[in-house]
Amino acid sequence: MVGLPLIVFLSASLGSCKISQTDSASGVREDRLVVGTPISEVPPARTSTVAANDLPTLETRTATPQQSPPARQLTVGGCCVLPFWGPDSAGVYFLDRPKGGPIGTYRVDLEGNPPSLVEHGAALFSSDLNWLAAPVGGAIEVVDRRSGEIWQVPSQGRMVSFSPQADWVTWQIRSNNVANLDRRRWTLKVGSLSSRETSSPLTGIGGGFIGWGQSESTLLYSGRREMGGEAGLWQSALDGTDAALLFSAERIRSPQVSPLGGWVALTVAFSGDQSRDGLWLVSTQGQRSFRVSQFGAYRWRGEGSLLVMPLENGRTPIRLVQFDVDDGEVRELKLPPHAIDAIVNNTWEVSPDGNWLVFQSAADGNLWLVRLPSGVEGA
């Protein structure tokens, strides 16, 4: 999720499509350091630890490549910013300011018909598209698009993110008196979209909130729970109790939660131990963790199925590899020749049904669509 200053910046500069997007150490997409006071510690929670030593490397059996149809161009004119999929996998949404048109969120179908305006202005949507959050007069308003009901979230202008099932919104407050990001204190705020009640279930040091566990019954976050405590990937109950360390690591980067919350993909860097650095898949049930042999940009294709674009400097076209944790199989997905030569700022997303990949081409700035070879149920 992007922060408020980025939304304002995008609104003013949508004529250029090559806009950097960066992930924070917590994995929650942010573009501001919130001004605030140091956050006090919460009372210590009951803590259990799952050992992360001697974890296996994901087996690298390679399946026979399967080729998909040619790539398809969806947009023209060098748009678009922050593309995302609709819940039915039938259309791609993006922020744009077309020539002669208003700034807003637009939708294009998979046939490449002209985009249609969905909402005026810059806004962030829930995954079911029933809710949106937008900056209004220095505050953040959350709108129920079905009823038109508005809730001005008490986030002091900090952008919120929606939970996968759109039952909750979250935002974070960070202290600004420590230069080292791995030592900054943060607190998580959670608001119910039904009752509008808010709570502060978590505080931590370094890292931050990552996402939701299975059935939105737990909170996932990184960093330390207290100064001097162990750093890594943590999971707690919704009230912050019953904390469990799922994976021990000093510097967790780019964490991504799987669609149903059963896994977290994350990167460990500069640990001082080459056997620990790299891409890991960690079960939120605390029983299994794998180090993946490939390294690069990654997205979840389905629960337990991760797509990786291996980091191979200077290589074109880009390769796409799929890892499946259930059987430990690794397969290279055979894409059409030069289907993906270069991507703008890691801008690519996989459809909810796992059948499609949309990316922003570095060659022309437009959105292109690739049909993925079969590999998940329904593909």
Q: Quick check: 21 pLDDT over 80?
A: no
84-120 per-position pLDDT tens digit: 999 999 999 999 999 889 999 999 999 989 999 999 9
Which amino acid, residue 40?
A: S
pLDDT confidence tier of residue 69, bands split at 50, 70 and 90: low
Residue with tokens 């030069």: 338
d(CA 350, CA 357): 5
Residue with tokens 């998909």: 68
Q: Quick check: 280 pLDDT over 50?
A: yes
Q: What value does the mean pLDDT take over residues 361-365? A: 93
Rounded alpha-carbon distances, angstroms, from residue 27 to 49, 133, 145, 253: 22, 20, 27, 7
pLDDT confidence tier of residue 159, bands split at 50, 70 and 90: very high
pLDDT confidence tier of residue 205, bands split at 50, 70 and 90: very high
pLDDT confidence tier of residue 60, bands split at 50, 70 and 90: very low
Q: For position 68, what pLDDT does the model report?
A: 60
Least-confidence region, from 77-81, 83-87, 113-117, 135-139 = 77-81
Is-cis flag, bond preceding 5, omega within 30? Answer: no
Percent of the chain with pLDDT over 70: 80
Q: Quick check: 31 pLDDT over 50?
A: no
pLDDT confidence tier of residue 32, bands split at 50, 70 and 90: very low
- Compute and round to an integer the Cα radius of gyration of the chain: 20
Look up the pTM and report it. Answer: 0.82
Query: Domains, the chain, ranges and CATH?
Result: 4-371 (2.130.10.10)
- Comparing C-alpha atoms, which of 85, 114, 117 is closest to residue 104? 117
pLDDT confidence tier of residue 266, bands split at 50, 70 and 90: very high
Q: For position 4, what pLDDT does the model report?
A: 42
Asked if 38 and 65 touch (Cβ cutoff 8 Å), the reply is no
Q: What value does the mean pLDDT take over residues 357-361? A: 96
324-352 per-position pLDDT tens digit: 998 878 899 988 888 898 899 999 999 99
Query: Of 55 and 251, which is predicted with more confidence?
Result: 251
3-state secondary structure of 214: helix
Number of residues assigned to the chain: 379
CA 184 to centroid of chain Cα atoms:
21
Q: For position 328, what pLDDT does the model report?
A: 79
Residue with tokens 């370094």: 206
Q: Quick check: 59 pLDDT over 70?
A: no
Query: Of 6 and 185, which is predicted with more confidence?
Result: 185
DSSP per position, 322-341: EEETTTTEEEEEBPPTTS-S
d(CA 303, CA 294): 19
Q: For position 57, what pLDDT does the model report?
A: 52
CB atoms within 10 A of CB 128: 14
Q: Quick check: 204 pLDDT over 70?
A: yes
d(CA 70, CA 3): 36
Q: For position 337, what pLDDT does the model report?
A: 82
pLDDT confidence tier of residue 371, bands split at 50, 70 and 90: very high
- Comparing C-alpha atoms, which of 207, 153, 201 is closest to residue 23? 207
Structure tokens at 108: 């294009």
Mean pLDDT for all residues in the chain: 83
Rounded alpha-carbon distances, angstroms, from residue 239 to 43, 45, 235, 236: 12, 10, 11, 8
